[in-house]
Every structure is written in C-alpha cells, then in structure tokens.
Structure 1
Amino acid sequence: MQKAKDSSFDMVHDTQAIYRKLLDGMARPGKINSIAPIISSVEQIADFPTALLGLAYTLVDREASFAVLSVPKEEIEKHIHWKTLSPIVAADAADYVFINQALEKEEIQQVTGSLRTGTLENPHESATLLLAVESFSEEAVKGQKLILRGPGIQHSCEIHITGFSIDWLEERKRINGEFPIGIDMILVSRAGEVLAIPRTTVIEWEEC
C-alpha cells in the first residue's frame, strides 16, 4: 500500500528534475549533483536509499527492466514495479541494476560478469549499474580516492568515496576495455548525491 509521504512525490515533474540532474552528471563526469530536495517526499522502504528509489522511478518503465540486489529484495522489487510497472528480471537481463548491498570480491565478479554490455552494433543495449555508497566528496576523506579523466572533464577530477569497494572499479575496467562495449555506472550517496560515471571515463584510484 502506498504511504502518505510517497504520494507527494510527483512521478512526472520530480522524475523529470532527477533526469536533468542525471544528464548533467553524464555530460560532466565527476560533478556531484544532489537530488536530496527532490526525493524528500519519497518514503523509506526497508533501508533502501530513497535516492536509489528516486532514480528507479526516473529510469525504469514498462519497456525498461530492472533488478535489485538488496536485503530485503522482494519487497523493494515489488514496490518499484508497483510504482513504475517495470518488469522485474534477473541481473543478467536487466537494463538497470540497483545495488544496496555489500558484496565480496567473488560476488562482485559474478554480478558484473553477467551484466549486459551491448555489442559493437548495438552498444546502447548494455546495462547501467547503480550503486549505493556511504558518501563522496571533492574534499579529501578517508576511503578511496578516484581520479577521473576523459570526455566532459577538463584535465582531471578528484573524488573521495567512503563505503565503496574498489573491486567494482577493477571489474568496470575489465568490462569496459573494448569501447563502445561496456556499462555505465551511477553512484548514489546516503545524503542523496549522485555521481555519474559513463563508460568513456577513465579512472585511477588509491586508498586514502
């Protein structure tokens, strides 16, 4: 049953606002965009980040499928499907994969190894991976330091992330080695910030 707080989220106006933030982030990798004010009316469901829910409402529909890796899983999937009518599928068939769960290296390899990466003829048929992290900042903090380079970035961009496994980046590098085949990645913080990392972005990293 829909809860009162969630009912004030506008599935047209608010998702359009989120989508504009995503487009800006994809065009300018490394730029941190906040969607916190937009998702303030989204109801918290089983500790699943409201920012991930807002992105799900924005990106999936009857023609765009999704998968969820979270605990719990079924409750989140049913809720997103109820709001969007998007098909629930396995991660290896999904257009969008939403992850709110710490995974071991072997599990990360299993997930990324199964994702759709498109083909040379149809690179747009690849999956987009959306990951929840604790936080990210342009200021130095303890965690992982990412240095981003590529289209949309003047020289380089430095981002510091906490609550994030470097194994995701190692797998991303492997998957995206044959451009235009690969996956796009979107990181979402608990504070409702969004960091888009398209497949064209080159990343170096180190522990801080």
Structure 2
Amino acid sequence: MPTIPSIPPIPTTTAMRATPATSLLPGFDNPVDDAQQVFRATLEAFAHPGRVETLPVTSGLPDGLSPGLAALLLTLADPDTPVWLPADVPAAARAFLRFHCGCPLVDDLGAATFVCVPAGHAMPNLADCAQGVPAYPDRSATLMMEVASLTDGDTLTLRGPGIEATQTLRIAGLPADFRARWRANNAGFPLGVDLLLASGHQFCALTRTTQVED
C-alpha cells in the first residue's frame, strides 16, 4: 500500500487575505472533518483494490476537475506533494489547488507526487511517472485519473494483496493497452505507480501489487 501524505493544513489567514474570496470556489464545507472522511475512504480503497468507494462528502468544484478528483486532491495534496496537470487544464482548477492545498504545480511529470488526469486527457506513460528508488519505493507517484464509468464497460479481474480471491471491476475509459501497461508496472515492484480511478462521486484504487488477469 502506498504512503499517503497526511491531511494538509487549513490555509492561513494571510493566504486567505491574499486572494479575493469571490475569485475562488470553496473547498470542503468542514475542511478538517471532511478531509478525514475522504482520507478514511481512500485508505479503504487502497486496502481493498478494485472495490468502488463513494465520496462521503463533496467540495467546491472548479472547472476542469470532477467531484472525485477535487475531493481526493483536497485531502491528499499539500505543500510537500507536487501535482502535475495536463497543460490545458483550466486556470480555475490550478488556482483552486494552489489556494486550498498549497501544492506546487509542476510541468515535469517525473517530479510529481500526484499525477492528475481529468476527463478528456490521455493517461501518460506510467514509466514516465516517478517510480521511487530501491531504498525509498514510497517516493513514487500516485496517478489519479477520471474515467467514464466504474460500473460499466470492460471487465477487469483483479488479484493480489487486499483481495481474498478475485475482485471484478467494470470500467470504461482506460487506454486500450492498459493491461500491458499495468503488467509492466507490476514487473518493477517494489517500485512503480499506484492508481486512483475516479468517476463522478465514485473512486477505487489499484496498487502496484494488484494484478490484472488477461
């Protein structure tokens, strides 16, 4: 299971004064309690790969992010976790993350702790994301991707830690060659990328140890 950063601090009063209140959407209604609820749901998702979770709370929703991606980033991203977004993601999403999370937004895919792929954007090559190093495999990236559905589409049969026998996941919106990409990611263990897949208010996780049957 990947190391998940601690819940980020609430922005300081100085930071709030620096940005006009009317220019940004709110984050969580109750930042600490709501983030803790989403954090627990995220831990459950990683503990049970392929099991679909539903967001326990929602947040403000800037242009360019889905409910799942917004809530996950509000919960997990902080000033110590660089975030990568595709170049043409709207400025509103970038401003939202800078203000509420304080996270650096980077152009270098390999420098990102969280690689965020909103709807309409292609999944980058997993090998181009941070893989960790042998002494610190937790220094790898978690790729968050919005998909079309987590209840319909292609059927993935999953095995591995956290799965008693097999777990079935129906999903639409992954690349056609996802299975081959994921096998290559498995092969690099203990290095490799972990996934958080979101669709609207639902999300699930695949860890680098999760195997996808042919």
Taking structure 1 as the reference length, the TM-score comes to 0.84
- On the 8 A contact 1:147/1:203 being kept in 2, the answer is yes
Q: Distance in 2 between matches of 1:50 and 1:203?
A: 27
**What is the DSSP-based 3-state SS (H/G/I as helix, E as strand, rest coil) of the residue aligned with 2:133?**
coil
Structure 1: segments with no counterpart, 5+ residues: none
Give yes or no for the alignment of 1:2 onto 2:15.
no
Give yes or no for the alignment of 1:87 onto 2:104.
yes
Q: Distance in 2 between matches of 1:52 and 1:199?
A: 20
Alpha-carbon RMSD: 1.9
Q: Distance in 2 between matches of 1:114 and 1:7?
A: 30
TM-superposed deviation, 1:61: 0.6
**What is the DSSP-based 3-state SS (H/G/I as helix, E as strand, rest coil) of the residue aligned with 1:154?**
coil
Among 182, 193, 199, the alignment partner of 2:208 is: 199
Question: Cα gap change, 1:94/1:149 in structure 2, threshold over 3 Å: closer, same or farther?
Answer: same
- On the 8 A contact 2:111/2:130 being kept in 1, the answer is yes
Give yes or no for the alignment of 1:134 onto 2:148.
yes
Q: Deviations over 1:67-112 (max 9, x none)?
A: 11274343322220111111111222000011014456xx733xx2
Q: Distance in 1 between matches of 2:117 and 2:207?
A: 17
Question: Cα gap change, 1:15/1:83 in structure 2, threshold over 3 Å: closer, same or farther?
Answer: same
- On the 8 A contact 2:27/2:74 being kept in 1, the answer is no
- On the 8 A contact 1:68/1:76 being kept in 2, the answer is no
Which residue of structure 2 lines up, in the alignment, with residue 152 of structure 1? 162
Which residue of structure 2 lines up, in the alignment, with residue 63 of structure 1? 80
Q: Aligned residues, how many? A: 191
Give yes or no for the alignment of 1:75 onto 2:92.
yes
TM-superposed deviation, 1:167: 3.1
Which residue of structure 1 lines up, in the alignment, with residue 4 of structure 2? none
Which residue of structure 1 lines up, in the alignment, with residue 177 of structure 2? 167
Give yes or no for the alignment of 1:33 onto 2:42.
no
- On the 8 A contact 1:108/1:168 being kept in 2, the answer is no
Question: Cα gap change, 1:166/1:15 in structure 2, threshold over 3 Å: closer, same or farther?
Answer: farther
Question: Cα gap change, 1:156/1:8 in structure 2, threshold over 3 Å: closer, same or farther?
Answer: closer
Among 116, 141, 146, the alignment partner of 2:130 is: 116
Which residue of structure 2 lines up, in the alignment, with residue 98 of structure 1? 116
Question: Cα gap change, 1:70/1:153 in structure 2, threshold over 3 Å: closer, same or farther?
Answer: farther
Q: Deviations over 1:105-127 (max 9, x none)?
A: xx733xx2321001111100000
